[in-house]
Amino acid sequence: MTEGIKEHASAQPELKRAIGPKLLLFFVVGDILGTTIYALTGQVAGEIGGALWVPFLIAFVVAFMTAFSYLELVGKYPKAAGAALYTHRAFKIQFLTFMVAFTVMCSGITSASSAAVAFGETYMVKTFGLGTSELRTTVIAILFVLLIALVNFRGVGESVKANVVLTIVELSGLLIIIAVGVYAVVNGDGDSSRLTEIDTANQTWLVAISSATSLAFFAMVGFEDSVNMAEECRDPVRIFPKALLWGMVIAATIYILVAVTSSLLVPADELKTAGSSALLKVLDVGAPGFPHVVFSAIGMIAVINSALINMMMASRLLYGMANERIIPKQLGRVHPLRRTPWVSILFTSALAIVMVSTVDIKGLGGTTSLLLLAVFTIVNIAVLVLRREKAEHKHFRTPTAVAVLAACLCAYLVIPGLSGRESKEYGIAGILLGVGLVLWLINFIYTKRKGEQVELNPEALNKGSD
């Protein structure tokens, strides 16, 4: 990076520190709640059987331990850069830093794509009474991605106060499911024996649990996005630990209660058959008179919010990489009127359209968790490597054993064979990261011919224009 760019960066004003502990807590809960539990409950049930709550509990434990590493790192380096910053500081390998940043970007695209498929496959259909067909689902999903792209292009001033409202709406849908479960149990309905059933028809119990956890982990991602709010929080070193950990506990508790309710009321094979409509199936059994349109509308809001947040993150991260000259600079062009990174929005939206046209929702959800688990493995290692750097201020410190165990568990859920993942998830991830490698090579060759030297500044990656 040239001196001119450094001077420009240093001349930028600091972000406004407007987020207190309560708003941060809502941000964490709202960022975790969303597409997964609304769209993938049936697919997780298909992997594990009636013990649907087990993979969600294990996913929470793995994510919770990883959050401890993030807390130590955000306490030492309260900057809005996340995994890319920690990787860069720990290993000093620019290509690795780039691949971590690109992996996070790809996870945003696959996550948003899964939301688009859920939107077209279930919630749009149920809300407006449309018929179902594979072609219609795909067309709706593509139109959904294009609409998100238009909103993204227009410029969305994200507000944590607006996030409170959206979180309450998302939460209301899940509380309806839990309330239905409580009502059914009080009236003697439900089969508690299903809660301990693990489907081992074609696999061992360990592989069944691992494959279900690998998919359910998608439910717990999102908490890592909160580290990018560090520069906008009042006293982040003090408020982050409680807000992040309590936010994860609240979200996980809701997920587990929803999973228990689903298993009590509906057999696993019926949840699997229902697919992304699994929670609507639970409503049909537990509260037959409850109108689908109400719950479907709530589900629509949940997946729209998830998709918009993820596509904004992906496009801004791509813009940041282009702005830092580590991928072709053309991807960082900003529209003169809207002042949004329109080329990166087009690029990420095009990738999302390809995803929704060729991959089912289970593959998209599994690929998202695969990508982020790989990043979390690196972050858990980075926290140990960075112990050599001492901060001048007091900050949270995770127990060494927790970081080591978290790194091992995350790596286990990534390794082929052990994790029980389908091969197509590795194929999708490989293709997406291959796109990043091509972009990096094109830029590397171009800058080398021009005699330019690129110095990666990971703190600038997430700072797109709004």
> Do 58 and 296 meet the contact criterion of CB atoms below 8 Å apart?
no
Contact in structure between 72 and 397 (CB atoms under 8 Å): yes
Bridge partners for 45 per DSSP: none
Burial 453-462 (b: 16+ CB within 10 A, else e): ebebbbbbbb
Backbone angles phi, psi at 203, to 5 degrees: -160, 170
pLDDT of residue 266: 94
pLDDT at 280: 87
Instruction: Identify whether the C-beta of residue 306 lies closer than 8 Å to the C-beta of residue 125.
Output: no
pLDDT on residue 158: 45
The span from the CA of 252 to the CA of 421, in Å, is 23
Strand partners, 233: 19
Mean pLDDT of 105-116: 90
pLDDT number for residue 3:
42
93: pLDDT strictly greater than 80: yes
Cβ atoms within 10 Å, residue 180: 23
The pLDDT of residue 420: 83
Given a cut of 50, is residue 402 above it in pLDDT?
A: yes
Cα–Cα distance between 441 and 327 in angstroms, integer?
8
Rounded Cα distance between 383 and 405, Å, is: 13
DSSP 142-170: HHHHHHHHHHHHH-----HHHHHHHHHHH
Q: What is the mean pLDDT of residues 9-19?
A: 51
pLDDT recorded at residue 231: 58
3-state SS class at 393: coil
> 3-class secondary structure for 202-224?
CCCHHHHHHHHHHHHHHHHCCHH
pLDDT of 12 above 60:
no
Candidate ranges 267-276, 294-303, 386-395; pick with highest mean pLDDT: 267-276
Phi and psi at residue 183, to the nearest 5°: -60, -45
The pLDDT value recorded for residue 264 is 93
Average pLDDT (35-64) is: 91
How far, in Å, are 2, 68, 148, 163, 440 from residue 308 at the CA level?
A: 33, 27, 6, 12, 26
Q: At what angle do helices 292-323 and 278-286 cross, to 10 degrees?
A: 160
pLDDT band for position 8 (cuts 50, 70, 90): very low
Burial class (CB in 10 A: 0-12, 13-18, 19+), 50: buried
Contact 28, 252 (CB under 8 A): no
Of 14-23, 89-98, 146-155, the range with the highest mean pLDDT is 89-98
pLDDT, mean over the chain = 83
Q: Which residues pair with 19 in a beta bridge?
A: 233
pLDDT of residue 222: 77
Tens-digit pLDDT profile for residues 340-366: 889 999 999 999 999 999 999 889 999
- In this prediction, residue 324 carries a pLDDT of 76
The CATH classification number of 21-315+340-426 equals: 1.20.1740.10
- Residue 232 Cα to chain centre, angstroms: 21
Mean pLDDT of 317-334: 84
pLDDT of 167 reads: 76
pLDDT at position 4, please?
40
User: How confident is the model over 374-379, as a mean pLDDT?
Assistant: 95
- In this prediction, what percent of the chain has a pLDDT beyond 90? 36
User: Coil, helix or strand for 229?
Assistant: helix
Question: For 290-324, how does the pLDDT look when each residue is reduced to its tens digit (9 = 90+)?
Answer: 887 888 888 888 888 788 878 887 888 888 888 77
**Residue of higher predicted confidence among 87 and 128:** 87
Q: How confident is the model at residue 405 (pLDDT cuts 50, 70, 90)?
A: very high
Provide CB contacts within 8 A for 13, sequence distance 6+.
none
Q: What's the whole-number mean pLDDT along residues 189-206?
A: 86
Residue 19 pLDDT more than 50? yes
Contact 335, 152 (CB under 8 A): no
Please report, as a single letter, which amino acid is at residue 30.
G
Q: How many angstroms separate the CA atoms of 116 and 52, rounded? A: 24
Interior angle at CA 223, CA 220 and CA 227, nearest 5:
160
* Confidence at 254, pLDDT banded by 50, 70, 90: very high
- Specify whether the CB–CB gap between 61 and 268 falls below 8 A: no
CB 52 within 8 A of CB 202: no
Q: Which range is most confident: 166-175, 220-229, 242-251?
A: 242-251
pLDDT digits (tens, 9 = 90+) for 447-465: 888 776 666 666 666 554 4
- Per-residue pLDDT at 156 exceeds 70: no
Q: Please check whether residue 52 is in contact with residue 45, taking contact to mean a CB–CB distance below 8 angstroms.
A: yes
pLDDT band at residue 77 using 50, 70 and 90 as cut-offs: confident
Sequence letter at residue 171 = L
